[in-house]
Structure formats: structure tokens, C-alpha cells
Amino acid sequence: MAITKTNFINYTRCPRYASLEEIKKDRLEADISYSDYKNEEYENKVQEIVDSMYETNEESGEEVDLVNIVDRQLEAMLDYYKIVEQVAGQISEKTFGGKSIYAENTKDQECFDFSYHGIKYICYVDIYNENDNGINIIEVKSTTSKKYIELMAGHKKCPKYSIWEKINNVYYLKDELANYDLEKEMPLEEYEKKKEKLFDRYDLGKYVYDLAIQRYFIEHEYESTNTLDKLANFHYYLAVLNSEYIFDGTYVDNKPVYNPDSNGNELITFFDMTKITQEYQKYVDKDRTLLEQYLTNLDASPCPLGKYCGYKKQSGCKFFKPVCGKMIPPKNSSLSYVHNSHGFVKDDGTRIKGLELINEGYINLMDVPEEWITKKNHHVQRDAYMFNHVYVDKEKISLGLKQLKYPIYHLDFETMPCPVPRFRGEWPYIQSPFEFSLHIERTPGVCDKDKDNIVFLAKTHNDEREDMIKLMLKYMDPNVGTLFAQNVSFEKNRIKELATMFPEYREDLMKLYDRGFDLLWLVNTNSKMYMDLGYDEERAKTFNFYDKRLSGSFSIKKTLPVFSDLSYDNLVVKNGTEAIVEYANYYKMSKEEYALKYQALITYCKQDTWAMVEILNALRGLVK
């Protein structure tokens, strides 16, 4: 049996993963115990688990794998991720010197393996750099440096400093630098607390753990060949996108050239993880022992849910939704209480939160004991659910509506979160706008879906941002009215970024920025605004509106069905992810498909702003 690095990471998540993977792979038949959402134990055959991983498409009749669903967004962005790896290889030679081995195809990369207890462990190295000082093992990750740099600490009432120091495009932990006066910047205790976050394999430390597994495999290969002495000059690095890099817009043959920016920043920067991956080895070794136990036992019995499930994270376990977390209802579960990251205080004074609630049998919203509920909004949620009651604070909504200035510009951007910057002035993972829809409501309730709508959609992957700005400013008067959106901070941030990159339009764009108003301030609340309008703190913080159908979420996809019959179900493009996919795939389309998808993108974005018009009208009707 061969275990790759990815297998190692997944199989050691929990005692159950390896057996579920084998069940899915082989469709074995065996008896296991399983707990339903009522926390009642009963026996099921493995086939029931298998069935939960597959369903039949009603239209085609084909079986759909619910576990290994193709990530269309990742697939559409794959070419950009390949650029990251290619540029990382090039910059590694500039940074470290010597010669780097890197390749687009995994099979052409440097490979290490060893065998233990009948299992072959194997890994491929993204970049194998050899220079006069030794060998550098470099793992490329399409994340940014920001999350690491922002591990900061400082003395009380003093500035905070990062725990990293950058030297020649490489970040080093400050306690590893000779003669560095660390205590001048921060207490050692605070430094260690921040550094400890790098050891959380399910959060900030997940890529460090990944690299540590590589190191484990590499060192055990050398150990198996009695050549451990060769490891003395091995160093281990993470290569990530530099969050401080600004693209200067240089293109050659229609392809971006990522030269150092005006501040000398490279697109890729490196973090020295040599010592920290050494500290990780004892944990990796324990996990390897557990992995062997899991593969030997292949016990598919349920185990407690936990951080390793990756609940609501993109990197979450693929078995969570279809199998392990299947007992969690999609609506109004105990996890639906808003702003509840700290959980509840139990009768004995201990705190319970997150998936601990599910483990202890508190599955549904009403399962949480009423005496644990201390927040007004949580009481509102319970009452709405228990009595099928819609909570409305008409006075607050009415006063909020009076803050709107006309015309109202209902605005929505569609953006491309590309790992590498595409246009001048952009940086890694900027939300680069390629489309907007605008509905203009000149007087309360007077707005035509078609006549009062303007849509801009880029026709190519070339830089069309200035044309976008010109069209916006043609129809949006910066001096009057209200910039209106659901989660308006997103639209405001895009406008602010455009103002920075196109200074000739900065004054007008920033006037629009200053006129932002969020639809959620009327539905949910804005405590500062309502306190400024004279409400006490508790009422200012309390929802303006709540319906049990919201299930703790105020996203437009949840609020729209409550206020309108408008639906996305019949659209060709139904959500933001699909919009990204279609735009990213322009160049792959036939002329006919392009025309169809181009119009579908216009229709989808137009629906987003019309949805806001309908919700706003519904709120007006609610408080009449």
C-alpha cells in the first residue's frame, strides 16, 4: 500500500477517515454503528454510508459522487495556479542561487519515499533547490504571506511587531536570528503564543504541517539508506504569494511578466520553516503510528466531531456533509445562533460551543436549554422558530429608511479572486471586478427592472476596468444619492481599490464610497447607526427583522425568498462561483457558447441588484 502526503494528512484527521475512504473505494459490506440526528444509536450496513456518498441525477439518471465533486472554480483557475508554481521556481533561483528542479507535472518533480511496516510513504517536492550551501526543500502554496506576517505581538501600550523578520526575500522567525533583541519589541511569552499558532495543523499551521510531513518522508528515506549525514545541510521553506507585491502591468506576448515591483518586492516570498518542521517531527511520528492503527482496524464507527472536520472550511473533510455531519439539519440547527463563536455557558459554569453541541446531542436550535440563552437576538431566533413568529421592529426599519438619500444606486460587482495579479496596480487575490449591475431608484419604490438597469461586463480577459469606471460615473452622480448594496463593504472596497489604481477618477469614486449604505442595516441592524439615532445599546444591537427561514443567516440567498418570489433556480448562472467559472473560461468557449454564457452572466448580475430593489420595497410595505 502506498501513502502519499495528501493521504497522510487526510487519513490522520480522525479514526474514521481511512475506513470511509476504503468503504467508498471498494464498496465493502460490513456492519457499523451510526447515530442519527436524534442521537439514537442503531445499526446500519455500510451500504447506507455508501448510498449517502452517491445520488442519482434526476435528469440524466447518472450516479453522482457527492464526495469527490469536481471543484469547477478550482478547475477554471488552474492555469493561474500553474503560474504560481512556475514563478516560484524561477524566484527560488534568484533568492537562493544554485539550480532548482521544479515541474508542472508531479511525475517530473523530485521524489522521496521509504517503506515501513509494509506501507510505502511517498512524496514529491515542488521545488528542489541545490546550491553551494546545501539543499533547500521548498513547498509552494497559493496562499499569501499576510496571515503569517500578521502574527504580531508587543508590549502593553506599544506598537506591535511581527514575529517574522524579512531578509533578502526570506522571512525568519526572530528567535532564530543571531543577536536579535526580541524582548525590545515584545514579551517572550507573547512571542511564543503567536509562534504556537504555527503548530495548529487545522488552522494557520496546516501548510507547515504539510511541509513537516515532507521532511519526515525525506529523512526516513535517508535513514533507510544509512545516509543521514547528508541531511545536515537541508533547509525547508514555504513559498507563498507576497501580499505586499503590486503588479506594474508589464506584458510580453500578452502574458504578464512579474518583475520586482517599485518597492523591490517579488511576487513570491519564502518562510524559513527549518527549525519549526524539526519540532514537528515528533507529532508527525505519532500521527504515522495512528495512521497504521486506523488502516489496520478500518473502524467506520462514528467518532466525535471536532476541529479536524473543517466544518464550513474549504479544506474541510469531504466526508463531513454526506456522512459524519449528516445529522446536522440544514436549517435551524444548534449551530444557527448568530454571532455565537463563544458558545453557551452550561449550568456547571463550563462553556460549550461549535461542534461540541452536536457531540453532546444538542442538534436542533431548540435543543439548547433556554436557561443558557442570554442574548436578545438568540431569544428572538428561538421565539421565531418556536411560535412560527416573524419578528419586526417597524420603528427602527422606518427610521432606517429615512436615512436613504435618492436616487438609490443598487450596485453589485462580480469579481475574479485570481491568485496572481492580472492588471496594473493589482496584487495577489485582489477581488478584481469584471462586471457590475446597477439599478437606479430615483424615488421610493419607482424602479423598472429593465429600463432602470445598467450592466457592464468585460468582453475579454484584457484590462477593461477604466471602461467600467467611466460607465459607473456616467450613471452614478457622486454628489447625490446613496450607494446601496447587501454587504456594502464589499462594493465600497472595490470602489476604493479602483480609486487607488486610477487616481484620475479618485475624487468621484471616493464620493461614491462615502455614500455607502447596507441593506442589512435595515434587515439585521447597525448598532452604531441606531445608537446615533437615539436607541439604547440593546435595542440598537437587536435585529430589525427575523424569520425562522433565515436560519441565522442574512445572506441575500436567504433573505430574498423571505421577501420575494424571485428565484435563481432557472438561471443559467446561479451564483457568484458559477460567474467566476464562466468568465474565467471565456477563452475555452465556442462563439455560440460565449454568446450564451455572456448573456447568462448579465442576467445573473442583473438579478442580484433587482433582488435588492424587491427586498427594499418589501421592507417599505412591511412598515406602512
pLDDT digits (tens, 9 = 90+) for 426-436: 999 999 999 99
pLDDT value at 445 more than 90: yes
Cβ-contact 615, 523 below 8 angstroms: yes
Mean pLDDT for 78-98 is 93
User: What CATH number is attached to the domain comprising 501?
Assistant: 3.30.420
**DSSP strand pairing (482-485 vs 516-518):** parallel
pLDDT value at 579 more than 80: yes
Residue that finishes a domain, picked among 389, 417, 435: 389
Of the pLDDT bands very low, low, confident and very high (cuts 50, 70, 90), residue 557 is confident
The verdict on 429 and 570 lying in the same domain is: yes
The verdict on 526 and 453 lying in the same domain is: yes
Rounded CA-CA distance 198/280 in Å is 10
pLDDT value at 42 more than 60: no
Residue 24, pLDDT score: 52
The verdict on 555 and 526 lying in the same domain is: yes
Which strand (E) or helix (H) includes residue 483?
strand 482-485
The verdict on 349 and 430 lying in the same domain is: no
- With respect to residue 413, please indicate whether it lies within any of the assigned structural domains: yes
> In 3-state terms, what secondary structure has residue 4?
strand
pLDDT value at 30 more than 80: no
- With respect to residue 394, please indicate whether it lies within any of the assigned structural domains: no
pLDDT value at 62 more than 90: no
Rounded CA-CA distance 65/35 in Å is 23
Residue 141 CA, distance from chain mean position: 15
> In 3-state terms, what secondary structure has residue 552?
coil
pLDDT value at 85 more than 60: yes
Residue 110, pLDDT score: 83
Closest CA to 615 of 563, 573, 561, 548: 563
pLDDT value at 2 more than 50: yes
Query: Average pLDDT of the chain?
Result: 90
- Tens of pLDDT, residues 94-139: 999 999 998 765 556 788 999 999 999 999 899 999 999 999 999 9
Cβ-contact 505, 476 below 8 angstroms: no
- With respect to residue 440, please indicate whether it lies within any of the assigned structural domains: yes
Residue 109, pLDDT score: 74
- With respect to residue 32, please indicate whether it lies within any of the assigned structural domains: no
Q: Which grid cell is 503?
A: 487616481
pLDDT value at 39 more than 60: no
- With respect to residue 305, please indicate whether it lies within any of the assigned structural domains: no
The verdict on 416 and 375 lying in the same domain is: no
Query: What's the structural domain count of the chain?
Result: 3
DSSP characters over 413-426: EEEEE-SS--STT-
Domain residues for the domain of 508 are 403-622
- With respect to residue 343, please indicate whether it lies within any of the assigned structural domains: yes
The verdict on 494 and 561 lying in the same domain is: yes
The verdict on 142 and 276 lying in the same domain is: yes
The number of residues making up the chain comes to 624
- Tens of pLDDT, residues 506-529: 999 999 999 999 999 999 999 999
The verdict on 487 and 385 lying in the same domain is: no
Q: Which grid cell is 527?
A: 448598532
The verdict on 245 and 337 lying in the same domain is: no
Residue that finishes a domain, picked among 254, 287, 320: 287
pLDDT value at 38 more than 50: no
Q: How many CA atoms lie within 13 A of 316 on its CB side?
A: 17
Mean pLDDT for 204-213 is 96
The verdict on 226 and 347 lying in the same domain is: no
- Tens of pLDDT, residues 447-500: 999 999 999 999 999 999 999 999 999 999 999 999 999 999 999 999 999 999
Cβ-contact 566, 614 below 8 angstroms: yes
Task: Tell me the one-letter amino acid at 13.
Answer: R
Residue that finishes a domain, picked among 257, 287, 317: 287
- Tens of pLDDT, residues 359-397: 999 999 999 999 999 999 999 999 999 999 999 999 999
Q: Show the CA angle centred on residue 366, arms to residues 559 and 545, nearest 5°.
A: 30
The verdict on 281 and 354 lying in the same domain is: no
- Tens of pLDDT, residues 604-613: 999 999 999 9
Mean pLDDT for 189-215 is 96
Residue 313, pLDDT score: 83
- With respect to residue 344, please indicate whether it lies within any of the assigned structural domains: yes
The verdict on 84 and 183 lying in the same domain is: yes
- Tens of pLDDT, residues 306-347: 999 999 887 789 999 999 999 999 999 999 999 999 999 999
- With respect to residue 59, please indicate whether it lies within any of the assigned structural domains: no
Q: Return the exposure string of 447-459: e unless at least 16 CB atoms fall within 10 Å of the residue's CB, then b.
A: beeeebbbbbbbe
Residue 36, pLDDT score: 30
